Amino acid sequence: MTWTRAEFLAAVAGSGVLSPEYADDVLVRLAHHSTAIEGNTLTLADTVTLLVDQRVPVAGTPVRDLYEVANHYEAFARVLRAVAQDEPLTTALILHLHATLMDHLAHDRGQYKTSTNIVTGASWQPTAPARVPDLMRQWADQTEWQTANLDNEALLEAVASAHIAFERIHPFSDGNGRTGRAIIAYQTIRRFGFPAIVQVTRRPAYITMLDAQDAPGLSRLLAVSLADEAARRTQA
């Protein structure tokens, strides 16, 4: 069941990772940009109306669009809990993040894909379903080591490379992009204290970087996001 705002605020307070004001700010922007990259029709103002004012922003908004955004209550709370408890990046955490993001949206939420999927417009093919469990265990082990042990530019390049690898595995039938960007939020809050958020305005460059496996380019994009976020956190 999709969380309420009250449940989200209680989780924020319980984690103690971010101030309530800044957590609200991050929630709205993460939910908006990550879903808009996938084609969600809600604007940033609509997202504020839904998540902060708890009102449906526009009559006739597709229910799917509402759930895609509202599911970030629980998903972002799960990220903050993992950071607060110094929880390592594991396949269990990844599956849980997917389950929260795909609540009411996918029958197989929190489960790896069982049939072949494609990425429209991509020059590559996602990993075959039978190989996903083993590859995801390897991916999680390597990414956890990098997240815990690397610093500064090396860390950001590792985050970028891991994100590209995750999207190429494409472990789920749907929701891969949103889950991958939630993992980036977890990694960057854990190490920097604030998230790197890929903005929808950068979507063309971001998609090109994923397709070309341009980890240095994506690393620079994440670095710019973190610099903006550092300033924003002090103002929240």
Q: What is the separation, in whole angstroms, between the first and last Cα of the chain?
A: 30
Does 168 belong to an annotated binding site?
no
Does 179 belong to an annotated binding site?
yes
Going by C-beta distance under 8 Å and a sequence separation of 6 or more, which residues neighbour residue 59? none
Does 174 belong to an annotated binding site?
yes
Does 65 belong to an annotated binding site?
no
Does 60 belong to an annotated binding site?
no
CA distance 62 to 60: 6
Contact between 153 and 113 under an 8 Å Cβ cutoff? The reply is: no
Does 24 belong to an annotated binding site?
no
Does 175 belong to an annotated binding site?
yes
Does 114 belong to an annotated binding site?
no
Catalytic residue (choose from 32, 33, 98, 170): 170
DSSP string, 15-51: H-SS-HHHHHHHHHHHHHHHHHHTT----HHHHHHHH
Q: Which helix (H) or strand (E) holds 207?
A: helix 203-212
DSSP 8-state secondary structure symbol assigned to residue 2: P
**Does the annotation count 170 as an active-site position?**
yes
Which residues contribute to the annotated binding site for ATP?
A: 174-181
Indicate which residues carry an active-site annotation.
170
Residue ranges of the annotated binding site are 174-181
